[in-house]
Structure 1
Amino acid sequence: MSDVARARYALIWVTATAYAVFPCLVALVGLKVDYGFVGAFLLLFIFALICGIATKRWPRIRAAIESFLYGVLLVVPIILAVYLAVRLDRPWADDQLKAMDQVLGLDWPALLRFVDDRPYLAQPLNVAYRSFQTQFIWLPIALALSGRVLRSYQMILMYAVIYFIGCVISIWYPALGTYATFDIHPSDLKNIDRTWGYVFLDELKAVKSDPHFVFSLAKAQGIMTFPSLHAASAVLFAWAAWELKWLRYPFLLLNAAMAISAAVVGNHYVVDVIAGIGLAGIGIAADLLIFPRAEARGQIAYQPWHVRLEAAPARRGT
């Protein structure tokens, strides 16, 4: 089986398994869920399978479609995993995370003020932080259509692995984040986008302590603090984009900014960012173990089926 086929089947298996396992975990933890989204996502999964069969002869198009569809499908079990971790109701870890920053010699309020006082720093970081969704959707599509079919599947597969591991780690570190800990009020900020420091707090407190809380996909927020999944994504996106020379350095700069933005725009402790970067490193190291031959040959572009057929007689004649 080729590396592309292994990555593709692994992605389908992870997606299907996540949807099969999480209803059991939801029942075990006791989280009430509004399952109104299930029908639409079941249809989307069936549509993804049909697209995979219908586009078999065009591997670049199939990879572009599947990386998008399975990426969207994985969002739901990942968000549920975050909520389940918080629902286990471990003690708030803000004091512990704050202490870790202090051990590193970091003064988060001073860092926030430094960036907020300089619009030429704050505005690019705001843009970089908001770039997550755009990169997540369009980068694997660009990789697939440019011939880097394997890397497009790998990116979404590693996204799932990294995020699920992050959810497990976060069980022991539920946190309100830096804005609440250091009593930063929205009116205190001049240039930093103040949305992300507060928008999730009501949802976080409710899922942790409200016995009547019901999970709704329409109201779901990013409520994980440690590790920072924005920082982990920044490393993942930069690694994935490295395969395309015309994206390599722009995406390296963009994602360096996105990782930094998590510590100021994203309401994260600096140690959250460090942990997110380390988590992404583990995911990429796992990829190197699973696909060593592909990495060694530099992710050679996937050849269309008709090119392989034309080349086959020549190989047999040598």
Structure 2
Amino acid sequence: MSYQDPAIHRYGQVIGLTIAAFVAADLLWLPFSNITVDSSNGVAVIIAGLIAGGYWLAGAVCSRMARRSRLSKVWGAIAAAFENIAIFLLAFIPMSVASCLFMYLASSTARPRLDAYLVDADKALGFDWPSALAYANSFPMAAAVLVFCYAALTWQIPIVVLWHACVNGRRRLLEFCAVLFASSVLTAITMAAVPVDGPYLYFKPAASLYDHFTNAGLSHATTVEALRSGPFIFLISKTVGITCFPSFHTTLGIVITYALRRTPFFFPVAIVNALMIVSTVPEGGHYLVDVIAGGLVAVAAIVGVRRLADHGRRIRTALLPSE
């Protein structure tokens, strides 16, 4: 895939701008917060960067082998796969650190939580979270499936990266990065504007009402309390998901399914992620409006990135000399 592809240029612009936006916001906000960034984060970033560099070096070695070997196509494909993985890591590493830090900064706010408004919004939609939790918990086998699907999100990003890297789908890989990063920006802005605790902390249901689910919906509680109560040391290796509104699990499920369209993984991943989105209510501890908002974030990011890429393609086509 040529770097001259206008879509690749547009995706690269989105990736660069989103990383820059998070870094700038972190630098401006951090001095006024109670968060201190531990120096060991630098070591972690360097190690991750060396790993990315190792993939890039492996790609360069394989490229040289492709020029010298009779199996040039095989070596060329391997080189492209290594290079694609390196490109993804070189974008994903700084984005992970900068976006996680921003979300911790947003969660450290002392502003009143707005859970009551989300509960009212759920009621307006005819949805009652405690009743939904109790109902889901009354079916142990269904609850087990939902727990599995919720946790399954962790291995889906590697599938996207490895598939597109190995088939040399650089455009699709960078499109995935651009959509993922754009959705992260929209999520960060929304969670900063609408601070909430989540339904497990708001309703405080009895443990017997969710004994067939894990404590995923409460996993953020200790961290959020520490962020509010005093000095906090930020370590990227110990970060947990603390985004309640919108549901980033929902966003990721849609973005990943979209990224795997027209691949052998599409239908199984679509089924798993459909169930995963359902599981975000009882297992992830999200209001229904969290899920709806997460879906809107995903759609907005996909449509926005696609239109940007299409716009760049149209401009390039218009500038090409006519025959």
2:39 to 32, 35, 39: 35
What's the offset of the Cα at 1:20? Answer: 6.1
TM-score by length of 2: 0.81
Change (3 A) 1:14 1:79: same
**In structure 1, C-alpha distance between the alignment counterparts of 2:84 and 2:13, rounded to whole Å:** 12
**In structure 1, C-alpha distance between the alignment counterparts of 2:189 and 2:251, rounded to whole Å:** 15
1:201 equivalent to 2:221? Answer yes
Change (3 A) 1:126 1:67: same
Unaligned runs of 5+ in 1: 297-318
**In structure 1, C-alpha distance between the alignment counterparts of 2:256 and 2:15, rounded to whole Å:** 17
TM-score by length of 1: 0.82
1:280 equivalent to 2:298? Answer yes
User: Deviation digits for residues 144-193 of structure 1, max 9, x if unmatched?
Assistant: 2134221112212221221122111111322221112222233432322x
User: Deviation digits for residues 177-233 of structure 1, max 9, x if unmatched?
Assistant: 1112222233432322x221222112112212x232332334322111101100000
CA RMSD between the two structures? 2.7
Map 1:32-181 onto structure 2 (within 5 A).
32-45=36-49, 48=52, 51-52=55-56, 55=59, 58-68=79-89, 70-181=91-202
**In structure 1, C-alpha distance between the alignment counterparts of 2:93 and 2:149, rounded to whole Å:** 21
Query: What is the number of equivalent residue pairs in this alignment?
Result: 294
1:271 — aligned with what?
A: 289
2:319 — aligned with what?
A: none
**In structure 1, C-alpha distance between the alignment counterparts of 2:274 and 2:160, rounded to whole Å:** 16
Contact 2:56-2:82 at 8 Å conserved across structures: no
Unaligned runs of 5+ in 2: 64-78, 315-323
What's the offset of the Cα at 1:15? Answer: 4.0
Change (3 A) 1:9 1:233: same
Q: Is the partner of 1:268 in helix, strand or coil?
A: coil
Structure 1 window deviating more from structure 2 (109-118 vs 32-41): it is 32-41
Q: Is the partner of 1:171 in helix, strand or coil?
A: helix
Structure 1 window deviating more from structure 2 (221-230 vs 45-54): it is 45-54
Q: Which amino acid aligns with 2:38?
A: D
Q: Which amino acid aligns with 1:41?
A: V
**In structure 1, C-alpha distance between the alignment counterparts of 2:175 and 2:270, rounded to whole Å:** 18
Structure 1 window deviating more from structure 2 (81-90 vs 18-27): it is 18-27
What's the offset of the Cα at 1:84? Answer: 1.1
Change (3 A) 1:103 1:48: same
Change (3 A) 1:148 1:218: closer
Contact 1:232-1:277 at 8 Å conserved across structures: yes
2:29 to 20, 25, 28: 25
Q: Is the partner of 2:265 in helix, strand or coil?
A: helix
Contact 1:68-1:141 at 8 Å conserved across structures: no
1:221 equivalent to 2:240? Answer yes
**In structure 1, C-alpha distance between the alignment counterparts of 2:312 and 2:266, rounded to whole Å:** 19
Structure 1 window deviating more from structure 2 (282-291 vs 265-274): it is 282-291
Change (3 A) 1:59 1:135: same
1:242 equivalent to 2:278? Answer no
**In structure 2, C-alpha distance between the alignment counterparts of 1:161 and 1:49, rounded to whole Å:** 25
Structure 1 window deviating more from structure 2 (224-233 vs 24-33): it is 24-33
What's the offset of the Cα at 1:242? Answer: 0.8
What's the offset of the Cα at 1:34? Answer: 1.9
> What percentage of aligned pairs have identical amino acids?
22
2:230 — aligned with what?
A: 211
Q: Is the partner of 1:223 in helix, strand or coil?
A: coil
